[in-house]
Amino acid sequence: MDFQFNQDQLMMQKMVRDFVQEEIVPIAMQTDETHEFPLETIHKMGELGLMGIPIPEGHGGAGADFLSYILAIEEIAKGCASTAVILAVHTSVGTFPILYFGTEEQKQKYLPKLASGKFIGAFALTEANAGSDASSLQTTAVRKGDHYILNGTKRFITNAGYADVYLVMASTDRAKGPHGVTSFLVDKDTPGFKVGKKEEKMGLNGSATCELIFEDAMVPVENLLGAEGQGFKVAMSLLDGGRIGIGAQALGIAEAALEAALAYSQERVQFKQAIGNFQGIQFMLSDMATQIEAAKLLVYQAASLRMAGLPYGKQASMAKMFASDTAVKVTADAVQIFGGYGYCKEYKVERYMRDAKITQIYEGTNQIQRIVIAKHLRA
Ligand code: CAA
């Protein structure tokens, strides 16, 4: 497989890298401290076309390929992992569902707004008792005339409170399990729908994570996405692509940690010389760089398979799992190289370590990725 990026992909990478240096790096630490959603940055990203990178131009997007989008997530995550996940969720599981499964009316109504960043998208599958076991969700949708009436509570929803439209999975027939799950586009001002408690998290503080509460929420029939009973497959197929994005996010965090640790190892003097002169540190840096390189190949391979229209679910899970494990290991080692300073908020490596942890958990824990990989191996 050839990973020489083409001119368009390189231009996207360069543009995003510059944007990250100018607009994201200067506020990343503040975003982490204040827990403020970086709305102004998201608007600027919209103006640059970053909120609709892989969405066709005919629908208001940039019309770039999936690998360009993955490179953009990676670059953004180097500066701020929260901003990266806002974009990843907005695109992979907030906008793609309408592009792939929406009616012509739904596409016309939502895609230009989502692709330009005027709207932010979100994805609501998880519930208090339905995390890894996603198909056991309890939110119900009952048809009454020209509306579905939704009742239930979603948990840990990224972009909640800032999103304009939510893809919500609810059961239209509990007896059918996964085959009774249906997906809906829920507008933020839907009667009976509100955003609940905001989570205080270990990291990823700029990303809003909240409950969604549905109390006889009235969703018009035209907001059904796909057919009744198809919602679980819709969600699973979206997550296949989403997991490549999380792999790219993890990769970006790991790369930023390696860069910081390498620079520090050349400046920090102990025993009358830079600590980078010691093999103990060199071995750590070599392992970090090698793991990152391997994670890169998995992430880019999964993205390339997806672009080629080939099966990619197994590789997406491998990429997400390996890149997130790499991010956790590499960021912890970066803190170790920084020593006591690494444990202090003044230095950004502790943020990288806190932000990295969630990449092993969301869009399917790494244990779930192993289940998915094993299913592919045994098929
Ligand atoms: N694509 C299309 N269809 C799929 C699919 C896929 N990738 N995976 C499964 N399906 C289909 C199956 O074919 C099956 O249909 P048939 O019976 O017609 O063949 C149906 O869906 C049910 O599949 P399973 O029997 O495999 O379902 P399961 O209940 O055993 O669950 C699971 C499988 C892999 C454990 C799944 O529940 C899962 O992925 N869990 C993790 C959930 C998750 O990733 N949550 C993330 C939340 S979103 C998030 O984190 C976003 C964020 O904020 C950052």
Domains (range + CATH), the chain: 7-120 (1.10.540.10), 122-229 (2.40.110.10), 232-378 (1.20.140.10)
The rounded Å distance from CA 231 to ligand 1 centre is 10
Looking at residues 246-252, what average pLDDT do you find? 98
User: Which residue's CA is the nearest one to ligand 1's atom 47?
Assistant: 363
Q: How far apart, in whole angstroms, are the C-alpha atoms of residue 46 and residue 113?
A: 10
Task: Identify the pLDDT of residue 3.
Answer: 74
ipTM of the complex: 0.97
User: How many angstroms does the Cα of residue 338 sit away from the middle of ligand 1?
Assistant: 40
Over residues 23-66, the pLDDT tens digits come to 999 999 999 999 999 999 999 999 999 999 999 999 999 999 99
Measured in degrees and rounded to the nearest 5, phi and psi for residue 233 equal: -65, -40
Q: 3-state class of 249 per DSSP?
A: helix
The whole-angstrom separation of Cα 141 and Cα 299 is 36
Phi and psi at 282, nearest 5°, equal -60, -40
- Residue 125 beta carbon below 6 angstroms from any ligand 1 atom: yes
Decide if pLDDT at 187 tops 80.
Answer: yes
The answer to whether 218 and 43 have CB atoms below 8 angstroms apart is no
Sole residue written with tokens 């490596």: 349
Give pLDDT tens digits for 352-378. 999 999 999 999 999 999 999 999 999
Give me the pLDDT at residue 299, please.
98
Q: Give mean pLDDT, residues 156-173.
A: 98
Band (pLDDT 50/70/90 cuts) for residue 2 is low
Q: What is the pLDDT of residue 82?
A: 98
C-alpha dihedral (126, 127, 131, 134), degrees to nearest 10 = -70
Dihedral sign of CA atoms 193, 170, 361, 239 in order: negative
The pLDDT of 298-307, averaged and rounded, is 98
Please report the DSSP string for 274-322 in residue order.
EGGGSHHHHHHHHHHHHHHHHHHHHHHHHHHHHHTT---HHHHHHHHHH
Q: From CA 75, how far away is CA 73, in angstroms rounded? A: 6
CA distance 212 to 252: 29
Q: What percent of the chain has pLDDT over 90?
A: 99
Using CA atoms, how far apart are residues 46 and 64, in angstroms rounded to an integer?
15
The pLDDT mean for the chain works out to: 98
Q: Which residue from 123, 135, 207 has its CB within 8 A of the most atoms of ligand 1, so it is best to mutate?
A: 135
pLDDT at res. 198: 97
Give CA–CA dist 320/124, Å, rounded: 20
When pLDDT is averaged across residues 112-120 and rounded to a whole number, the result is 98
Q: How far is the CA of 211 from the centre of ligand 1 (A)?
A: 21
